[in-house]
């Protein structure tokens, strides 16, 4: 399989694992069940093995003891002379070998016992013909150099006549018996195979393995069904919530039964109905507010025009009035200019609220826009004793944008900086790259308190209500600038610290519709003192 296909399969598997609660619950349950089944199965297998082995050892020792007792009885009935040693050995071994062949165990007769361990293979032993004498454990031969008591141990039985016959675990029982012919002790080794016990243990192992596998499959199936009953309503709730978030406020969950899931669905539907009602009330209130703002702005145009004409007449004739009346005419003209600007801003905001704002895109150079704005605001800056300069970090800085709207954004930012810069120069930074273009306005005024950077673009919001507006702004400039920026698909962000001034940054994509991922100008100025 290609590496890319394997990687894709792994990613899909990991995604499914992260997203599926049901899969994780089933896997965890099966894993824990497998551990429990494995431990229990191992314990049962050990108990079974120990029981089979103990039972086989008891039977082997009992049978070997019985055979030895019978052999002693037969020997006791024979005359004991030195010339009859071989005859007595044969009379001792033959009956046992015959019964061993019938009953399925092996016998080895070796001896006599000496102070050194007997090498069974070289001791002239009599034994079952198919048995390999290496099957007799050396530990049993060494036992009789110290004691003549019976002993037993485990062994591995090997055979010489059948090459296909496997090695078999067995029990070796040894007894010492005295031969009347010479008065010496000879050893009888009884080797009992444990083939039947091994077969039984293998059968039990297969049964446990099969039962454990079936049990795990059953546990997995039951867990899947149980979790499905819980997860399915949750998935329905998720899909319903996604559709609600997408604006389909009429979506509801199905309610079945009276259990906890049904009560959850009922509560979810009640919550959705409450949200739908409140959202519609807010939409209606917002629509009425936008309509009121638009209607009032339009209705005020006509009387404002009339008042403007009368104010212009009075302002032109102010030199003929006494000082108090002339000053009143000048104030009237100033407030009329501000009022007209407020109406223009309200109309612009209403167009944004109604979704009627549109872009007139063109390729513009942001450096030229910055210089035009600086020229327009130079008089206002000189009144405050400030200087506004442009620093182009790259030239040209091109972007596909609406010239009028971008110029209005920059003008609002520069005017806002002039209003709040108590001293120090105001710098307009311009920079760009292959994906984005940016303008930043840096002032060294009062700055922004923590949390105010997120509020500064709200309508009619002011950081210091007691602070006079030098530029005569309406309080809607930054809000309109933010709407203009969103219309371009750009960013308008603010940074500030008390006593260190503020910086506002406008970032636009080089091409309309392209997503923004970064800005060519850092939001935090390079000249900020490290705290």
Residues of each domain in the chain carrying CATH 1.10.287.130: 260-353
pTM above 0.75, yes or no: no
DSSP code string of 207-271: HHHHHHHHHHHHHHHHHHHHHHHHHHHHHHHHHHHHHHHTT-TT------SSSHHHHHHHHHHHH
Q: What's the rounded Cα separation, in Å, for the pair 372 and 407?
A: 8
The whole-number pLDDT of residue 480 equals 84
Q: What's the rounded Cα separation, in Å, for the pair 97 and 103?
A: 10
Which fold, 80-193?
Answer: Beta-Lactamase (3.30.450)
Q: What angle do CA 105, 109, 114 make, to 5 degrees?
A: 140
The whole-number pLDDT of residue 531 equals 40
The whole-number pLDDT of residue 530 equals 46
Q: What b-and-e string marks burial along 364-395, b requiring 16 or more CB atoms within 10 Å of the CB?
A: bbbbebbeebbeebeebbeeeebebebebeee
Partners of residue 496 on adjacent β-strands: 502
Q: Tell me: domain 260-353, CATH 1.10.287.130, correct?
A: yes
Query: Beta-carbon neighbour count of residue 125 at 10 Å?
Result: 21
Residues 33/216, Cβ–Cβ less than 8 Å: yes
Q: What's the rounded Cα separation, in Å, for the pair 491 and 506?
A: 6
Q: How far is the first Cα of the chain from the last one, in angstroms, to the nearest whole number?
A: 57
Q: What's the rounded Cα separation, in Å, for the pair 309 and 329?
A: 12
Whether the ω angle into residue 50 lies within 30 degrees of 0, i.e. cis, is no
Q: What's the rounded Cα separation, in Å, for the pair 471 and 338?
A: 10
Which CATH code is given to the segment(s) 358-509?
A: 3.30.565.10
DSSP-based three-state secondary structure for 21: helix
Q: What angle do CA 139, 141, 146 make, to 5 degrees?
A: 90
Digits of tens for pLDDT over the chain (531 positions)?
556 666 777 777 777 777 777 788 888 888 999 999 999 999 999 999 999 999 989 999 999 899 888 888 887 776 655 556 777 778 788 888 888 888 888 888 887 877 777 666 655 567 777 787 888 888 888 888 888 888 899 988 888 766 566 788 899 998 888 887 777 888 888 999 888 888 898 999 999 999 999 999 999 898 888 888 777 777 887 888 888 778 777 778 777 777 777 787 888 888 888 888 888 887 777 777 667 766 766 677 777 778 778 878 877 888 888 888 888 888 888 777 777 777 776 677 766 666 667 788 889 999 999 999 999 888 888 888 888 999 988 888 899 998 888 998 999 899 888 888 776 789 999 999 989 999 999 988 888 888 888 888 887 776 555 444 444 456 778 888 888 898 889 999 999 888 888 999 999 999 988 888 889 999 888 877 544
Residue among 139, 79, 141 nearest 109 (CA):
141
Those residues with Cβ within 8 angstroms of residue 266's Cβ, 6 or more apart along the chain or in another chain: 255
The whole-number pLDDT of residue 67 equals 86
Q: What angle do CA 419, 503, 487 make, to 5 degrees?
A: 95
Those residues with Cβ within 8 angstroms of residue 263's Cβ, 6 or more apart along the chain or in another chain: none
DSSP-based three-state secondary structure for 123: coil
């Amino acid at each position: 399989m290609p590496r890319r296909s394997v990687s894709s399969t792994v990613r899909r598997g990991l995604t499914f694992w992260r997203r599926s609660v049901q899969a994780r619950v089933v896997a965890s349950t099966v894993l824990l069940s497998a551990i429990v089944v494995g431990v229990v199965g191992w314990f049962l297998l050990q108990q079974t093995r120990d029981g089979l082995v103990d039972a086989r050892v008891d039977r082997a020792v009992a049978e070997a003891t019985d055979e030895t007792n019978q052999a002693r009885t037969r020997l006791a009935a024979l005359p004991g002379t030195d010339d009859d040693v071989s005859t007595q050995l044969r009379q001792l071994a033959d009956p046992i070998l015959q019964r061993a062949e019938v009953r399925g165990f092996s016998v080895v007769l070796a001896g006599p016992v000496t102070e050194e361990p007997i090498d069974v293979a070289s001791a002239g032993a009599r034994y079952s013909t198919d048995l390999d004498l290496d099957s007799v454990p050396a530990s049993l031969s060494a036992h009789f150099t110290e004691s003549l008591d019976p002993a037993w141990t485990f062994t591995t039985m090997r055979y010489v006549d059948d090459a296909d016959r496997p090695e078999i675990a067995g029990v070796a029982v040894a007894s010492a018996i005295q031969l009347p012919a010479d008065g010496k002790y000879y050893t009888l080794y009884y080797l009992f195979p444990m083939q039947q016990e091994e077969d039984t243990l293998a059968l039990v192992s297969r049964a446990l393995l099969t039962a454990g596998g079936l049990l795990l499959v059953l546990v997995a199936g039951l867990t899947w069904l149980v979790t499905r009953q819980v997860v399915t309503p949750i998935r329905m709730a998720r899909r319903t919530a996604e559709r609600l978030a997408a604006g389909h406020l009429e979506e509801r969950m199905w309610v079945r039964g009276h259990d906890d899931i049904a009560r959850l669905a009922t509560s979810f539907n009640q919550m959705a109905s409450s949200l739908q009602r409140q959202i519609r009330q807010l939409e209606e209130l917002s629509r009425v507010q936008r309509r009121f703002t638009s209607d009032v702005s339009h209705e005020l145009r006509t009387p404002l025009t009339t008042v403007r004409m009368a104010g212009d007449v009075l302002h032109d004739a102010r030199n003929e009035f006494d000082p108090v009346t002339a000053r009143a005419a000048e104030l009237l003209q100033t407030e009329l200019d501000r009022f007209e600007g407020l109406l223009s801003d309200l109309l612009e905001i209403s167009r944004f609220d109604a979704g009627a704002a549109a872009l007139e895109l063109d390729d513009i150079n942001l450096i030229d826009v910055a210089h035009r704005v600086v020229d327009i605001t130079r008089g206002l800056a000189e009144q405050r004793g400030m200087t506004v300069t442009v620093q182009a970090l790259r030239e040209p800085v091109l972007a596909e944008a609406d010239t009028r709207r971008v110029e209005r954004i920059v003008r609002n930012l520069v005017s806002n900086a002039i209003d709040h810069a108590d001293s120090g120069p105001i710098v307009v930074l311009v920079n760009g790259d292959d994906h984005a273009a940016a303008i930043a306005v840096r002032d060294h005024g009062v700055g922004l308190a923590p949390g105010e950077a997120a509020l500064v673009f709200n309508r009619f919001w002011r950081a210091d209500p007691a602070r006079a507006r030098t530029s005569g702004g309406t309080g809607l400039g930054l809000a309109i600038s933010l709407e203009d920026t969103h219309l371009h698909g750009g960013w308008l962000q603010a940074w500030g610290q008390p006593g260190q001034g503020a910086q506002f940054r406008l970032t636009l994509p080089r091409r309309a519709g392209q997503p923004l991922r970064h800005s060519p100008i850092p939001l935090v100025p390079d000249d900020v003192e490290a705290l």
